[in-house]
A and B are shown apart, each in its own frame.
Chain A
Amino acid sequence: MSRVAIVEGIRTPFIKARTLFKDIPAQELGRIVTRELLDKTELDPDLVDEVIFGNVSQPPEAANIARVISIMSGISIRKIACTVHRNCASGIESVTSAYEKLICNYAEVIIAGGTESMSNIPLLYPKEFAEFLAGLNRAKKGPGRIKAMLRFRLSFFKPIIGVMLGLTDPTCGLNMGQTAEVLAREFGISRRAQDEFALLSHKRAIASRDKLKEEIVPVLPPPKYGILVDKDNGPRDNQTLETLGKLPPYFDRQSGTVTVGNSCSLTDGAVAVLVMKEEKAKELGYKPLGYIRSYAYAGLEPSRMGLGPAYAIPLALKRASLKFNEIQLLEINEAFAAQIIACEAALSSKDFAYTNFGLDKPIGSVNREILNVNGGAIALGHPVGSTGTRLILTLLKEMARKNINLGLVSLCVGGGQGAAIILER
């Protein structure tokens, strides 16, 4: 079977929500990267069969955001587009979904990616308010209308914060930070271990600034177009254990360990990659960044969602007939330091391997020297729908720099899933 190639990719800088990109909607972020990808690869837009974007918050004004992006990028209206949603792995889902369509020969060239503007997730009004308005509309005049008006309550104006709603698990009611606390408790992960991990993320991200620039298209944010944004604004130059240590636990004020400092932050950003079969890439004269070897998604308890990678990685390895120690470079998304440390613990646990996979040896221990070498979401941020594609792009570019052949990307997924994808060169 022929391989599926990731030909090239590009992303916007990842920008903390409500800062520099606050006036750029998600579809515009997606448009910027798609257009730049077309230009960078000198690809004839008419060759693109489909645009697939991952997006979690699904802006109400841009339903099926991938379609909006496709049209805004100047791709023919005769071409198709769909938006995929697997929560935090939506940016992986877009790529694996492209893979499936390519393998089925339902498409030859696909632009896959992810986009998210967490700045623009709207506030919601209580349902009672909507009912009040509908009632007011129905009561045309006279006493009925006055009666309808009298149903007004000030509490109608108390908005529900859409972002918080999205980050709260709909089946167990815990928000994502609280699920991280669940893992910290289960695996006994200290505050200090988490803060140290967070510090490492910032240090690596700062050190990799120039490397990361290779995957970034600079953006001039409207409406002023006056500031050039050409790097991620999450990484802190002067991050220290002391400052991290001063932050109060955010999700469990009493005994908690998870702070805003050792979690990823709300972020805006978009990524796009060009995906096609190896032969097609050759035909068009491309030298792909790499190829998809295998991938897997796995399910687990929603309250332990952070452990998703520990469930998905063994499956992806099995499908690729690879051992964990053969992987030369790793990107595991840093939703929370606690969650990623828990994954390390589970992956190196004999018990975990036996209980879940019937293996008599642990999956393998995670070597931090090959893990998230350019920093991770704690420093760079986590625009939920985009991160998956970003990890693939960042990993492939680093594999080329190091001239190595096997890499693995994995994410935990809100709602209780894990995603893993193995890439080769």
Chain B
Amino acid sequence: MTESIFYKEIYNVGIIEIDQPDSKVNTLTTELMKEFEGVIEGISRSKIEGLIITSRKKDVFIAGADIKEIEGITNFVEARSKSKEGQAILNKLENLSVPTLAAINGAALGGGLELALACRYRIAASSEKTKLGLPEVALGIIPGFGGTKRLAKLVGIMKALDMILPGKALSYRDALRAGLVDKVVYEKLLLEEALAFIKDINAKKWLRRPKRKKLLNLFLENTAPGRAILFSKAKKNVLKNTKGYYPAPLIALDVIRRCRRLNLKDSLDVESTEFAKLAITGISKNLIKVFYLSQEYKKLTGVEGKPIKPLIIGKCAVLGAGVMGGGIAQLVSFHNIPVKMKDLNYDAIGKGLLSAYKVYKGAVSKRILNKNEAALRMGLISGATTYNGFKKVDIVIEAVVENLDIKKKVFKEVSGVVSDNTILASNTSALSVTEMSKAARNPRNVIGMHFFNPVHRMPLIEIIKGEYTSEETVATTVEFSKRLGKIPIIVNDTRGFLVNRILLPYINEAAIMLEEGISVEAIDRSAEVFGMPMGPLTLIDEIGIDIGYKVAKILEEAFGERMRVSQIFDLANKNGLYGKKTGKGFYVHRKKKRIVNSEINGLLGQIKSKNVKSHTGEDTIKDRLFLLMINEASRCLQEGVCLRPSDVDVGMIFGTGFPPFRGGLLRYADKVGIQKIAEKLSIFSKDHGEKYTPSKLILELAKSGKGFYNS
């Protein structure tokens, strides 16, 4: 066994330093916990005056429990005993007779914070890296080492709910304010201050001042009607945010409520039982897998295994100041990179600047940035109608109108201005990057960088390799995307790339079902019940029907009959019903409400009704929507648009909001079973055409009894 816990004594004070070997962070593995237990038992027999627990890792105290271990848990008994063992060890820590102090020098998350909570005192480094939280719900579980009880006891029910239900971590400032830590000190003085702190405690010079609570808090936490309001409000909030698909926050809420009046021992029993129930759910397993995926894709280089060094982007230009151009300029400037935004006229530039300004205003009101930081970043965007200043930019991101001829013209034009090494990226959502690159002076520098709207919020970026795109270009663009905080997926240059090619048929099919007589609400509801953040018809209203129509047309041209654009799309587009931006689409959009647009019924009347007998059951609607997606995704895989099923899942989760608790589109397919999917597809294909004919890949997988992930 390699050692992770190092114990020493200074001035008669014991110091435990945690330093897990071969790892950047400390995680509470079973092995580490056992070692920790041994040290604590040793201490209980020694004659020290106090104990300090800290970490030797940079910027990390303890990052949490070992997720791999949690993932590996298969049954309830195992899960509960894991939790119980951890609880028992932390109880031993809590029961030490000497003052115990966690000296937190960075992230103290999950089990890490639970360990700190079992100490009598906590001091934290006043560093931006210091984060204290119990984020377990993000993995579909609740804290299992006594965190629910101890946190609520220390900071009050209200604050505990506020932290645990959304899995929110506190900064050192907020932690001090909440009473979660007793003191904050400079990181470099942490140990020195910790020793002095122990000394003060023993000399009775330091007493924890009870936090004065506001009257409202006293009412909400300390009276029965107050608590009733508090818990019901919290529950409503959770349901609003999770739509009921994520059980963990609700269970956490319930555990905190039930344990309020129980003693520690009983509380811990409740906690470990509920933890164990959650830890073995498929939802938790899926969320863990999605977490791993996001971690893995954030590390992609795009040139895996090759010694290609990406260039650092120092200056950027954006062509086109529309919704996407303005959003991209904002994103780039947010990361402190100067960006030039060019458009044909100042009217357009003004709109682009305004949209960036609004995002910054939002960031200030959410306290992500202060006013000066926001002004500095806003100032990094400069608008222009000329190519002045383009010679020195490292990357140009084109976001002009989605029209191949115009894009080619723009690429040719900008090629004449920029330097030989400048990367030319297109934010096209469907057009051929290879075609565009032919118009450029140096096609090797041309690449696709497909951002999703709203740019500052959507985590995904599709990187599209054209036929001539060099690996250096890929490496630099991937690195740049990661610097912008995006999760990249790398796809090949076919129409619609990956995400739109899967998403558009789904939206189109929703419109076709509408033509068949199924109501707007029924269609959207079935997708929402499945867990999508919004139904397909609401989504297209948000995106803009004109934009969706354009992409759908490109796909129809490329893939023919199976992507034939629905007539109602065509009519809505012709009639200027573009969705939210014009106030009317499939819905009429008012300030806060939206109602189904009756004009759509009029338009539907113009369409000759087809002789299709539609099943209007929620399940059938759902299957028609999502099986179509799966079928198209399998075609993408078999054609090599992307290489791995996880590319599809990352793309759909982070690009379209596909529900993470389902683990991703193809993970969902595997769960349902490919054979079943193939059967259902074949049935649909009889009534609704070849788009439902199972792909070669699906047939193969069905035949061999495999899934996308274990093929």
Using a CB–CB cutoff of 8 Å, the interface residues on chain A facing chain B are 28, 31-32, 35-36, 38-40, 42-44, 71-74, 218, 220, 222-228, 230
With A36-B382, A228-B346 in contact, is A220–B353 under 8 Å at CB?
yes
- Nearest-neighbour CB distance to chain B for A72, whole angstroms, equals 5
Checking A38, A74, A224, A230 against B354 with a beta-carbon cut-off of 8 angstroms, the contacting residue is A224
B711 is an interface residue with CB less than 8 A from chain A: no
A contact residues around B375 at 8 Å (CB): 28, 72
User: CA–CA, A43 to B380, complex, Å?
Assistant: 16
The answer, yes or no, to whether B304 is at the interface (CB within 8 Å) is no
Task: Report the separation of the CA atoms of residues A228 and B357 in the bound assembly, to the nearest whole angstrom.
Answer: 16
Could you say which residues of chain A place their CB within 8 Å of the CB of B340? 39
A-B contact pairs, 28 of them (CB 8 A): A28-B379, A32-B382, A35-B382, A36-B382, A36-B388, A39-B340, A39-B388, A39-B389, A40-B389, A42-B392, A72-B375, A72-B376, A72-B380, A74-B315, A74-B338, A218-B346, A220-B353, A222-B353, A222-B357, A224-B354, A225-B349, A225-B350, A225-B353, A225-B357, A226-B350, A227-B350, A228-B350, A230-B346
Residues of chain A lying within 8 A (CB to CB) of residue B391 = 42
| A74 proximity list for chain B (CB < 8 A) | 315, 338, 380
Q: B366-408 vs A: 1/0 string, CB under 8 Å? A: 0000000001101110111000110110000000000000000
Tell me whether A38 and B351 are in contact (CB under 8 A): no
Nearest B residue to A71 via CB reads: B376
Complex-state Cα separation, A72 to B350, whole angstroms = 20
Given contacts A72-B379, A222-B357, A225-B357, whether A38 and B350 have CB atoms under 8 Å apart is no
Q: Tell me how far the C-beta of B601 lies from the nearest C-beta in chain A, rounded to whole angstroms.
A: 38
Pick the contact of A220 from B315, B350, B378 — CB < 8 Å? B350
**A32 vs B347: C-alpha distance in the bound complex, in angstroms?**
18
A225 in contact with B351 (CB, 8 Å): yes
Q: How far is the CB of A239 from chain B (nearest CB, A)?
A: 28
Interface residues of B (CB under 8 A from A): 315, 338, 340, 346-347, 349-351, 353-354, 357, 375-376, 378-380, 382-384, 388-389, 391-392
Q: How many A-B residue pairs have CB under 8 A?
A: 57
In angstroms, Cα B350 to Cα A218, docked, is 11
Closest to A62 in B: B372
A39: contacting residue among B378, B379, B382, CB under 8 A = B382
* B436: min CB distance to chain A, Å: 25
Note all chain B residues with C-beta closer than 8 A to A224.
350, 354
Partner of B357, one of A40, A43, A223: A223
7 shortest A-B CB distances, which residue pairs?
A: A39-B389, A74-B338, A225-B350, A225-B353, A42-B391, A228-B346, A39-B388
What CA separation (Å) do A172 and B362 show in the bound complex?
50
Say yes or no: A220-B389 contact (C-beta < 8 A), given A225-B353, A228-B350: no
Q: A39-B389, A225-B357 are in contact. Are A31 and B379 (CB under 8 A)?
A: yes
Q: How far is the CA of A35 from the CA of B326 in the complex (A)?
A: 19
Q: Are A220 and B376 in contact (CB under 8 A)?
A: no
Contacts of B392 in A (CB 8 A): 42-44
Residues of B within 8 A of A36 (CB): 382, 388
Using Cβ atoms and an 8 Å threshold, which residues of chain B touch A44? 392
Chain B nearest CB from A285 CB (Å) reads 11
Q: Is the CB of A228 within 8 A of B347?
A: yes
A226 to B378, CA, bound (A): 16
Docked complex Cα distance between A43 and B315 (Å)? 12
A40 touches B346 (CB 8 A): no
- Which chain A positions have C-beta within 8 A of B354? 224-226
Provide the bound-state CA to CA distance between A294 and B375, in Å. Answer: 39
Give A36 to B349 CA distance when docked, in angstroms: 15
Nearest CB in chain B to that of A72: its residue: B379
In Å, the complex CA distance between A36 and B383 comes to 10
* Residue from A44, A224, A225 with most neighbouring chain B CB atoms (10 Å): A225
Report which of A40, A42, A72, A220 forms a contact with B383, defined as CB distance below 8 A: A220
Cα A74 to Cα B315 with chains together (Å)? 9
- Give B339's nearest chain A residue, CB to CB: A74
- Say how far B34's CB is from chain A's closest CB, in angstroms: 49
A31 to B375, CA, bound (A): 11
* Cα distance A284–B378 in the bound complex, in angstroms: 30
A32–B383 CA distance with the chains assembled, in angstroms = 10
With CB as the reference atom, state the residue of chain B lying closest to A220: B350
A51 vs B354: C-alpha distance in the bound complex, in angstroms? 29
Docked pose: A72 CA to B315 CA in angstroms: 14
Closest-CB distance, B4 to chain A (whole angstroms) = 40
Kindly state the separation between the CA atoms of A40 and B389 in the bound complex, as whole angstroms: 6
Of the residues A28, A43, A72, A220, contact of B346 by C-beta under 8 Å: A220
> In whole angstroms, how far apart are the Cα atoms of A43 and B392 in the complex?
8
Q: Write the nearest CB–CB distance from B346 to chain A, whole angstroms.
A: 4
Question: From B378, which residue of chain A is reached at the shortest CB distance?
Answer: A222
How many angstroms between the C-alpha atoms of A42 and B388 in the bound complex?
7
Give the residues in chain A near B382, CB-CB below 8 Å.
Answer: 32, 35-36, 39
| Given contacts A28-B379, A36-B382, A74-B338, A42 and B389 within 8 Å (CB-CB) | yes
Docked pose: A227 CA to B389 CA in angstroms: 23
Q: How far is the CA of A28 from the CA of B392 in the complex (A)?
A: 23
Q: Complex Cα distance A325/B347, Å? A: 48
A35 contact set on B, CB distance < 8 A? 338, 379, 382
CB of B318 to closest CB in A, whole Å: 14
Not counting A220-B353, A225-B350, a sample of 16 additional A-B residue pairs whose C-beta atoms are within 8 angstroms of each other reads: A28-B375, A28-B379, A35-B338, A35-B382, A38-B389, A39-B340, A39-B388, A42-B392, A220-B350, A222-B357, A224-B350, A225-B349, A225-B353, A225-B354, A226-B350, A228-B346
| Interchain CA distance A61-B5 in the complex, whole Å | 50
CA distance A226 to B379 in the complex (A): 17
For residue A141, give the distance in angstroms from its CB to the closest CB of chain B.
18
B388 is contacted by which of A32, A40, A71, A72 (Cβ under 8 Å)? Answer: A40
A99 to chain B, nearest CB (A): 26
Looking at the assembled complex, report how far the CB atom of A375 sits from the nearest CB atom of chain B, in whole angstroms. 25
Report the Cα distance A39→B340, complex, angstroms: 9
Residues of chain B contacted by A38 (CB below 8 angstroms): 389
Residues in chain A near residue B347, CB distance under 8 A: 228
- Complex Cα spacing A242 to B586, Å: 63
Most buried by B among A39, A224, A227, A228: A39
Most B C-beta atoms less than 10 A away, residue of A31, A38, A74, A227: A74
Q: How far is the CB of A33 from chain B (nearest CB, A)?
A: 11
- Nearest CB in chain B to that of A35: its residue: B382
Distance between B383 CB and nearest chain A CB, rounded to angstroms: 6
Question: Complex: how many Å from CA A73 to CA B354?
Answer: 19
- Which chain B residues lie closer than 8 Å to A71 at the CB level? 376
B403 to A: closest C-beta gap in Å: 26
Which residues on B sit within 8 Å (CB–CB) of A42?
Answer: 388-389, 391-392
Alpha-carbon separation in the docked complex, A227 to B349 (Å): 11
Q: Give the CA-CA distance A35 to B349 in the complex, in Å.
A: 16
- Give the docked Cα–Cα distance between A166 and B391 (Å): 43
A74 to chain B, nearest CB (A): 4
Nearest-CB residue, chain B, relative to A224: B354
Closest partner residue, chain B, to A40 (CB atom): B388
**Distance A35 CA – B378 CA, assembled complex (angstroms):** 13
Instruction: List chain B residues, Cβ under 8 A from A43.
Output: 392
Across the interface, name the chain A residue whose C-beta is closest to B387: A39
Report the Cα distance A32→B384, complex, angstroms: 11
Residues of B within 8 A of A222 (CB): 353, 357, 378
A28, B379: Cα distance in complex, Å: 8
Cβ distance A416 to chain B, nearest Cβ, rounded Å:
37
Q: How far is the CB of B363 from chain A (nearest CB, A)?
A: 15
Distance in angstroms between the alpha carbons of A347 and B347 in the assembled complex: 49
A225: B residues at CB distance < 8 A: 349-351, 353-354, 357
Name which residue of chain A comes closest to B377, CB basis: A72
**What chain A residues lie within 8 Å of B350 (beta carbons)?**
220, 224-228
A31: chain B residues at CB < 8 Å are 379
Q: Which residue of B lies closest to A227 (CB)?
A: B350
Q: Report the minimum CB–CB distance from A242 to chain B (whole Å).
A: 37
- Measured in the bound complex, the distance between the Cα atoms of B342 and A193 in whole Å is 48
Chain A residues with Cβ below 8 Å from B389 are 38-40, 42
A72 to B336, CA, bound (A): 10
In the bound complex, residues from chain A placing their C-beta under 8 Å from that of B353 are 220, 222, 225
